[in-house]
Structure 1
């Protein structure tokens, strides 16, 4: 069974002057500091889920309990947020979902490095022209009778369809347009990579408990499998206490150095080794132990000796000797 793909964010950008935004100030003007806190808590919840959050009765009760604010006050605040376009009105009234154009834009920027990102067509507020630059994005449509299906957002997919028609499955969206679904192939490839990593972990490190499986799955979303295995090997060699965290640090460092393959990592390691060897092998002049312990005769010293001899000679002559 395929592991559920990570959708949410671990953190999200929050402008330092968010309280100066007119929409936020309107919320604060009506609901005070509590209204501001509700908005921030809602944003935290939305980004944790991804780019939207459903607002059903169950969600309302749970949210009210967690933030310790009366549910009626929360709903009044949300109505005003919708009225002042902090959240999209049409999506909220049609689907009971909290989202906005800005939220979706920031979400896509944050997940730009993931191998695959899914968004729901009915909740999408961005224009296709704006999102087609995200090559890892798959837009899907909700249908009460069938599962999620792909929406064609890639202008080149029509050309590719005629070339690989035998290996793909044609499906139809709710607007009646034929599209090509290549998700099974991607899922199969991703599951194969995950299987390689989990096999290495269970064979060399320990039991594959559920939360470890999730962590390895998130790593697969962000990094090549060969680098994940190499990072885990180095965590083993270092005898790290938390091998997942140690491996993640290594992977982050490689990503920051723009190292994408195992060959590139090994080449970088070799460069560091050569640099260290060159620095260590630099020629250093050895000074003898006796250097500086004995005075060395100089022309000045010789000059002093000559003056003394001359003075002694003159003294003998004056004394008549």
Structure 2
């Protein structure tokens, strides 16, 4: 089972002074608070999809219904957003897509921990130098997939062809092919790990719903599979109500302790157990012999009257009287 690839974001950064941006102020000046709300709703939609959102008649009608604003007012507001460069004009007019340079930059920062991120070449507004730092990024065309970066990603780039450059490009292509092969093998390994985790989850916890699958995928990106399995076993033993959250807390704790293997985890557990045992050793206190003994006063024994009379008689006889 291949792990699902998440495209959009669960949340996005929103500057506290966004209303001070000139572009936002222009929208609000013309359309009032409704215009501001439309912009925020559009950003929510875009980041939920990823880094762009199509803006066809279907999307317009659905968006109008969801935000309960007249579709004509929405389209006038969107056109003004394009006019004031809140959204990129060329991409909007060519492909009917809402996006911007800033949106794409924030998106790439947010998905930096993902194993693989795909972006469409035709919608891409960032410069080649800006995106080369993202090793998990793959750029593809709408019609033809592109497996590696090249200078053609930036339509404004001009390439001077020479023998020396052709030689460099040949070596670059060979290196990229090796990288692609390594990436392919790495992805296959990750998919196998994902299959192990999902199988364990389904057999011991419950059905695998989409958002759980995404969470498990994030775990595999950040932690060894043997530690994930061990953490789930401990969550089951503890009968945790939210097992995924419980597992995440365990994994983060192990990562903070720089524990990378199951042997290291077990060794850390043993050290903790030994330390706890030493603290529980009872202190032995010497008790003096006299502790607990109570001195009892001597009580004279009362004699029986018959015994006293008999003793007196014998005394008289002995004395000859």
Offset from partner CA, 1:32-72 (integer Å, 9 cap, x none): 00000011111111111111111111111111111111111
Where does residue 5 of structure 1 map in the other structure?
5
Offset from partner CA, 1:66-108 (integer Å, 9 cap, x none): 1111111111111111111111111111111111111111111
TM-score under structure 2 length normalisation: 0.72
Q: Is 1:149 aligned with 2:146?
A: yes
Q: Is 1:28 aligned with 2:28?
A: yes
Displacement of 1:246 in angstroms is: 2.3
Q: Distance in 2 between matches of 1:182 and 1:288?
A: 73
Q: 1:162/1:288 Cα in 2 relative to 1: closer, same or farther (>3 Å)?
A: same
| 2:4–2:213 contact (8 Å) kept in structure 1 | no
Q: Is 1:244 aligned with 2:244?
A: yes
- Structure 1 unaligned regions, length at least 5: 169-179, 290-321
Structure whose CA Rg is larger: 2
- Structure 2 unaligned regions, length at least 5: 152-167, 289-321
Where does residue 129 of structure 2 map in the other structure?
129
Give the paired residue count: 272
**Partner SS state of residue 246, structure 1:** helix
Q: Distance in 1 between matches of 2:245 and 2:41?
A: 28
Q: Is 1:162 aligned with 2:174?
A: yes
Query: How does 1:113-262 map onto structure 2 within 5 Å?
Result: 113-143=113-143, 146=144, 148-152=145-149, 159=171, 161-162=173-174, 184-209=184-209, 212-254=212-254, 261-262=261-262
Displacement of 1:287 in angstroms is: 11
Q: Distance in 1 between matches of 2:91 and 2:134?
A: 23
Q: Is 1:103 aligned with 2:103?
A: yes
Displacement of 1:186 in angstroms is: 4.5
Q: Distance in 1 between matches of 2:136 and 2:22?
A: 34
Q: Distance in 2 between matches of 1:164 and 1:138?
A: 12
Displacement of 1:260 in angstroms is: 5.2
Q: Distance in 1 between matches of 2:176 and 2:104?
A: 32
| 1:27–1:36 contact (8 Å) kept in structure 2 | yes
Q: Distance in 2 between matches of 1:182 and 1:93?
A: 39
Q: 1:98/1:262 Cα in 2 relative to 1: closer, same or farther (>3 Å)?
A: farther
Q: 1:274/1:12 Cα in 2 relative to 1: closer, same or farther (>3 Å)?
A: farther
Q: Distance in 2 between matches of 1:254 and 1:8?
A: 29
Q: Distance in 2 between matches of 1:226 and 1:158?
A: 40
Q: 1:114/1:267 Cα in 2 relative to 1: closer, same or farther (>3 Å)?
A: farther
| 2:27–2:35 contact (8 Å) kept in structure 1 | yes
User: Larger RCO: Structure 1 or Structure 2 (Cα < 8 Å, ≥ 6 residues apart)?
Assistant: 2
Where does residue 53 of structure 1 map in the other structure?
53
**Mean Cα deviation higher: 58-67 or 201-210:** 201-210
Displacement of 1:277 in angstroms is: 5.6
| 1:114–1:222 contact (8 Å) kept in structure 2 | no
Let me know the Cα RMSD of the aligned residues. 3.4
Q: Distance in 2 between matches of 1:193 and 1:111?
A: 21
Displacement of 1:152 in angstroms is: 2.1
Displacement of 1:151 in angstroms is: 3.4
Query: How does 1:235-314 map onto structure 2 within 5 Å?
Result: 235-254=235-254, 261-262=261-262, 265-266=265-266, 269=269, 272-273=272-273, 276=276, 280=279
Where does residue 91 of structure 1 map in the other structure?
91
**Partner SS state of residue 147, structure 2:** strand
Q: 1:185/1:239 Cα in 2 relative to 1: closer, same or farther (>3 Å)?
A: same
